[in-house]
Amino acid sequence: MKHAHVVSPLTLLLVTVLFPAALLYTMPAAHAVVMVNDPKGFNGIQWGTTLNDRPELALVNTARRIKEYDLKNGPIPLGEATVETMRLSTVDDKFARVTIRYRGKDVHARILAHLQAKYGPLDRTPGQTMRSFNQQYNWRGTDTEVNMTYEGQGERGFLFIESTVLAPRFNDSLPESAY
């Protein structure tokens, strides 16, 4: 049985707030697509739900306001794609974000196809999609935002699926000097 690691608030802050923010800051701007079929959560778990007592999850990191969970049976596939990691995060005990990491150009293409089928097609107007080494795609719904980034040079991908209301609370933990 895995036990939760108690990590310093600074470490958890770096992993859950600063890393995603830095990754998104370094990517070229892309326009968000209006999401169709907003799931209002992830994998049947609604945003704002407490994750403490969910039997399929294992607490892996905890700090003052943030807790992170992994699926006990490993990450679920996204469409036909297998991903490396899938971590669910809460802020103030409310489910707010899923962070997914994956590798490979083929996996990226399968995940992108899955997201377009689920949330709506991308705007294929020239200049709206990225075909360079770094790519960024966004879908925005009323309750959910999906942000996909892909670094072609290292063939690494990151997918953030988060509550539009709760995810900004991760930033509340940042000291003013962190910017």
Write the CB contacts of 7 (distance below 8 Å, at least 6 apart in sequence): 61, 62, 63
Q: What is the pTM of this model?
A: 0.79
Q: pLDDT of 21-78, one tens digit each?
A: 444 444 444 567 899 999 999 999 999 999 999 999 999 999 989 999 999 999 999 9
Instruction: Name which of 86-90, 126-130, 170-174 the model is least confident about.
Output: 126-130
Q: Is 26 helix (H, G, I), strand (E, B) or coil?
A: helix
Among all chains, which residue has been given the structure tokens 């990191």? 61
Q: pLDDT of 108-145, one tens digit each?
A: 999 999 999 999 998 766 554 455 678 899 999 999 99
Q: Which of 4, 104, 115 is nearest to 52 (CA)?
A: 4
What is the total count of domains within the chain? Answer: 1
Dihedral, 2, 3, 8, 14 alpha carbons, nearest 10 = 30
**Structural domain that includes position 26:** 5-178
Give the confidence band of 7 by pLDDT, cuts at 50, 70, 90. low
